[in-house]
A and B are shown apart, each in its own frame.
Chain A
Amino acid sequence: MGAGVDAMVSKVSSGTLVASIRKERRDADAFVLDVSFEAPPGITILFGPSGAGKSTLLDCLAGLVRPTTGKIVIGENVLFNSMIHIDVPPQIRRMAYVFQSLALFPHLTIEQNVAYGLRDIGQQDRRARVEEILEAFRIARLRNQRPSQISGGEKQRTALARSLVTRPQLLLLDEPLTGLDAELKASIVEDLRAWNAAKRIPILYVTHSREEVDALGERVIAIDNGRVVSHGAPMDVLDAPRRKRLAQAAGFENLLSATVLDLREPDGVMRIRLGESACEIEAPLAHASAGDLVQIAIRAGDILLASQRPRGLSARNVLEGKILSLEQRGTMCIARVDCGVTFVAHVTPSAVRALELASDKQVWLVLKTHSCHLVD
């Protein structure tokens, strides 16, 4: 290492992150992180339930934790390769990492915090770069404050500025915007995007919040139990969840077990029976055969409610049932409906009034075939 590595990482280039990492925990509670993925410049979201291994993955990328085996490459810079014993220390990996706790230095001012990573450059250059990023993240007026004197959003802006001022080749964000309201979050993300428009580095953004994925997503990598379970555009990854825990995290309120009755391949559908009930519905065709047990995920917002038996519908699944309970939450009503199995459906308060919905009222549920997602 030493000179060779220095030469390698000092090359200023931004490129795609290519990583394959396997990390076994020594305390061996059978958890193994084993992922391979690519992240091109721009925001890539790492999505998954807590405990899925997202933070461990970031720690490995940053060099804080040494993977058991694997390879980490950004553009042409090899940062880790267990085969040829390359392990660039975190100090010279040129990666920025914003922790969930932000880890601002409490005894330094905002300006000193931001300037911390800049030292091998001249005074003037240094001042200019600090100035530029303080402006870009709208924290210039706070320069002489300490972290304990500023608000949560301002702290997050400071942490981002401190990381990015060093011109890293990769930015790792571990749920950095948790606890901020949506508007504030959006404005910070906008500033981040604006900054990255010119620099074009890969940004890995860890979250378990479905809302953040919708707000940010260009690409999503879904992780569960230490594995990449799917990747692609947010719609593709989250609307067709392949794992139960992921389905729950992605906001599928209805998770039902079902038995496959028969496959109708020409129509691209199959008939399934829900649980032990008499309810039979149509779902998209999947790799299954008659008699198989499967899991079905349905969003509460994808279920229609009718007060009379609907006719002339394209939707194939109409189930008769009785309202168990109605609960208003904000501007939304959560209806629990018993059709032999219990469904959760979301309706608006005005629909509740128009249909005169109430407990014990008989209703019909309408489900589109393609709203019924099969889960592994």
Chain B
Amino acid sequence: DLEPGNLLHADHKPRLLLMGLKRSGKSSISNVVFRKMAPHETLFLETTTTIRKEAMHSFMDFQVWDLPGQIDYLDPDFDAESIFGGVGAMIWVLDAIDNYMEPVSRLTETILHLQHSYPDIKYSVFIHKVDSLTEDFRDDTMRDVRQRITDDLYDAGLENPPITYYGTSIYDHSIFEAFSKVMQGLVPQLPTFEALLNTVSANCRFEKAYLFDVYSKVYIASDTTPVDMKAYELCADLIDIIVDMSEVYGWDRGQDQQETDRSQAVAAPSAESFVSNIKGYHLYLKEINRSALRAQVRQGFRLTIYRNLSFIGISKYSDFEISKVLVDQNMQAFQDTLLKVFPRG
């Protein structure tokens, strides 16, 4: 009953499971991506003993469940339906610097166990902590893990299992990039978004265009030109700047703001940013649909941040600044179409 259309049903939040052995890095991943924890702070994380649920409210509500490595889900007494019913995707986190025989066999057991009752689950294997491996060793490890899983499943009669593999680390952008890809697998309208982004890129001369969830730095879609990790990093770092500056300068000025701000009425309805002339490139960011949410971030302060979808485009067009009016018009049309495809609940 997991038809794509159902994913958007009001009380049906697509669920993403994070599974793997103890200390493989699940809680670290979920904290770094969804709570903006600094990577090195994860050293202080203690082993998880209960299921932890994170919600991600961007254009659609995701749930990410961090399942402790110590529970035996294959125990027949275990209420599997409460966990696996309604799951869209499962991420299996595998510690690349540890012996991976056990996690590999646990994963294949799990897949075989679940395949009959829940055939629609998509699996992703995060070969994690690859920052600690040299490049050669990393490639070998990834190849070997993949081969073993494929062989094991083949021997058990499962051919072409729906598994995608990623090398990840919380110390660089790879974890965000991998998460983006997994999320995109849960977005039924992905082809529509990609087509829209292709059109905007063509009209406004963007080399690369993304639709980002600003808060998590996960991108929901991009145009269909080849993926470029460096372009992603650039956009992700721009988002960091915007989020940080919006935090430190977005404070409530109360009375004073209203007095000094005659132009409130004509102020842009949403945030927008522009980085010009980076060796001939321009970066353009436009917030799609602003809704201020109260969110718990950084040192326990309660703040208002803008937690939503943004368009980011990279352009190499020399007259980009001059043609910005045209870009703005295109963005308006893009936004209107997008909101039609994606009615907010």
Query: Is chain B a partner of chain A in the same complex?
Result: no
